[in-house]
Amino acid sequence: MSQANSILVLGAGELGMAMLRSLARRATPGSGVSIAALLRPSTIDSQALAKQKDIAELRSLGVELLPVDLAEQSEESLAAVFGRFHTVISCTGFVGGSGVQLKLARAVLKAQVKRYFPWQFGVNYDVIGRGSPQDLFDEQLDVRDLLRSQDQTEWVIVSTGMFTSFLFEPSFGVVDLGRNTVNALGGWDNSVTVTTADDIGALTTEIVFAEPRVVDQIVYIAGDTVTYRQLADAVDELLDLNVHRTEWSVPELKRELADDPDNAIKKYRAVFAEGKGVAWDKSQTFNAQRGIAACGLEDWMRANLAANKSVNLADVSHR
């Protein structure tokens, strides 16, 4: 049987670490809150300095570490682990590939977990619909259908938009400082919602403990919602540049994807270029309505780019 306020976080990557840090602040003596993290055994035993640092931090925060490989375990064996916990929060991302998100949701239901936050920390999959350029999104809709079809486990989906750092990821190609270029996905007036990993962790924690209780809902949060024109203007102003502006049309991006159909980055470019379900009004979000400050686009740029214009963006994007 699970204990009330026992929380299991799946994964400890960029978002998982942010989530665990924020949740751990609620697990004070006498709070009745306990936090655990499910990690691959190879991660816990890693000799890589960055991994060792994360593991040491989690232990210092009092987070219980469970060595389990999600990809290798069966639905039944995962259910046996999940059943210890009242709440499960998935921060796994898509790295496990097709089928993993649905397996996790089924294991949660099999374990009769009281509350589940699935890995849906992204766009509005309902609006995007099935058959989008990013085929992994169809499984996200399968997870939603499964959760909506039952009333045993409460579910909460936190829609965050794109991670702010990903907008500046060199491989994504939207902000290409090496070529002094900003490339608009689909058009300059297309919008995108962005939120930092730290804010996603902090705001999800607020949602976990919110009163009245959030039940069977999609909750929208946002650090910022901007057009690609506003993005290019901000890059020019804050970095004292005059970037070259290029528009990548939907037909162009879909042709590129057709020529390279397994390229995940090209899938994401095409989805965001279509402009459906990837942006929402910041004033209508959970954080805005609760008066909770979040890091906006220009705030992130000042903290990560403006102080060092020659910064290596490949390093910045993973801070």
Domain ranges, ordered by start, for the chain: 3-162+194-220, 166-193+223-276+295-316
| CATH C-level class of 3-162+194-220 | alpha beta
Beta strands in 14-69 (DSSP E): 34-39, 64-67
- Quote the CA–CA distance of 215 and 210 in Å, as a whole number: 10
Asked if residue 260 lies in contact with residue 242, where contact means CB atoms within 8 angstroms, the answer is no
pLDDT value at residue 137 = 95
Run of H or E residues at 228? helix 228-239
- The CB density around residue 294, as the number of other CB atoms within 10 Å, is 22
Tokens read off for 45 = 């035993």
Count of C-beta atoms within a 10 Å radius of residue 57:
15
The single residue listed with the structure tokens 């665990």 is 20
What is the per-residue pLDDT for 4? 63
DSSP 216: S
* Predicted local confidence at residue 93, as pLDDT: 87
pLDDT recorded at residue 129: 97
pLDDT confidence of residue 110: 98
Q: Which helix (H) or strand (E) holds 215?
A: none
Rounded to two decimals, the pTM is 0.93
The per-residue pLDDT for range 134-191, each reduced to its tens digit, is: 999 999 999 999 999 999 999 999 999 999 999 999 999 999 999 999 999 999 999 9
Q: Which fold has domain 166-193+223-276+295-316?
A: UDP-galactose 4-epimerase; domain 1 (3.90.25)
Q: Which regions in the chain score pLDDT beneath 70?
A: 1-4, 307-319
pLDDT tens string 251-264: 999 999 999 999 99
Alpha carbon distance 3, 135 (integer Å)? 37
Angle between helices 49-60 and 14-24 (to 10 degrees): 20
Residue 49, burial from CB neighbour count under 10 angstroms (0-12, 13-18, 19+): exposed
What was the pLDDT predicted at 308? 55
